[in-house]
């Protein structure tokens, strides 16, 4: 190989690496996707729970992304004493996965199941043999308890939590929302899956499902007002 050809080949590889780096940066840059109200809500929830927060369009979407990001499609197990909200979220998540049959094709399934339970039920009452992780569900009316109850707050810090309200059969509905409180490492991957519907560099092309996973700006502002009011009321009640 001539010196000129070798130089051209090296330059080509360098350019390819640079393009990949820029694509990856574009995928992870949310400035053109997530608005200031969603960011503000995520920051507020992070302050309350002590975890990183990712706002999504519904509880079932939140559970679906948690399962994909950290548990490679592990089957779900519902706690025997789970309430109606938990069961509705799990049923909605199942329908979403059915609509995207290739969802788990990019990972090796985890051996074991993901236990889904109510956040406010004591952990010892919802154990499940073979569970490899836990997703806990809490309604917006219980959100203030994350501030008031130290026991609950510690458990939020120890496990992913899907905060959900108004779950619908197919995972979407007017007024639906989902907030996932999790580790920052998990949150980084969840944001890519939420924004683009896929993981990895291929997300630069934006899979269509990604547009259905995001929380609306107006919705985020209304939720921030409501949650902040509930937390403030809870704090005043505790002070009394």
Whole-angstrom Cα distance, residue 163 to residue 55?
9
Return the half-sphere exposure (C-beta side, CA atoms, 13 A cut-off) of residue 137: 32
Average pLDDT over residues 108-137: 79
Q: Which two tokens stand for residue 163?
A: 């905060």
Above 80 in pLDDT, residue 94?
A: yes
pLDDT band at 43 (very low <50, low <70, confident <90, very high): very high
The pLDDT mean for the chain works out to: 76
Buried b / exposed e over 193-230, threshold 16 CB at 10 Å, is: bbbbbbbeeebeeebebbeebbbebebbbebbeebeeb
pLDDT band at 63 (very low <50, low <70, confident <90, very high): very high
Provide the pairing of β-strand 76-78 with 113-118. Answer: parallel
Whole-angstrom Cα distance, residue 185 to residue 187?
5
Of 58-67, 111-120, 198-207, the one with minimum mean pLDDT is 198-207
Whole-angstrom Cα distance, residue 15 to residue 38?
35
Average pLDDT over residues 152-159: 67
pTM of the model: 0.76
pLDDT at 10: 79
Domain ranges of the chain: 14-239
Above 70 in pLDDT, residue 203?
A: no
pLDDT band at 54 (very low <50, low <70, confident <90, very high): very high
pLDDT at 151: 67
Average pLDDT over residues 109-134: 78
Average pLDDT over residues 53-66: 90
pLDDT band at 240 (very low <50, low <70, confident <90, very high): very low
Under CATH, what is the fold of the domain 14-239?
3.40.640
On whether the CB atoms of residues 74 and 114 are closer than 8 A, the answer is yes
Q: What is the C-alpha R_g of the chain?
A: 20
Torsion angle, alpha carbons of 211, 215, 218, 223, to 10: 170
Q: Using alpha carbons only, give the angle 117, 172, 80 rounded to the nearest 5 degrees.
A: 20
Q: What percent of the chain has pLDDT over 90?
A: 8
């Amino acid at each position: 190989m001539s010196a000129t050809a070798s130089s051209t080949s090296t330059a080509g590889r360098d350019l390819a690496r640079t393009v990949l780096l820029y694509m990856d940066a574009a995928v992870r840059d949310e400035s053109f996707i997530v608005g200031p109200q969603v960011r503000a809500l995520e920051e507020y929830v992070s302050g309350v729970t002590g975890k990183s927060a990712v706002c999504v369009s519904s509880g079932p979407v939140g559970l679906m992304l948690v399962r994909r990001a950290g548990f490679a499609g592990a089957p779900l197990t519902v706690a025997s004493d789970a309430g109606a909200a938990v069961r509705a979220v799990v049923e909605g998540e199942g329908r979403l996965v059915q609509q995207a049959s290739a969802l788990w094709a990019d990972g090796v399934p985890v051996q074991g199941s993901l236990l889904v339970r109510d956040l406010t039920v004591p952990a010892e009452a919802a154990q499940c043999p073979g569970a490899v992780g836990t997703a806990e569900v809490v309604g917006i009316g219980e959100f203030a308890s994350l501030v008031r109850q130290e026991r609950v707050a510690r458990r939020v810090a120890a496990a992913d939590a899907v905060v959900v309200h108004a779950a619908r059969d197919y995972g979407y509905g007017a007024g639906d929302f989902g907030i996932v409180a999790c580790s920052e490492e998990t949150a980084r991957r969840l944001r890519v899956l939420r924004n683009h519907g896929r993981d990895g560099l291929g997300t630069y092309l934006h899979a269509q499902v990604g547009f259905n996973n995001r929380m609306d700006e107006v919705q985020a502002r209304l939720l921030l007002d409501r949650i902040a009011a509930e937390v403030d009321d809870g704090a005043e009640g505790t002070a009394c």
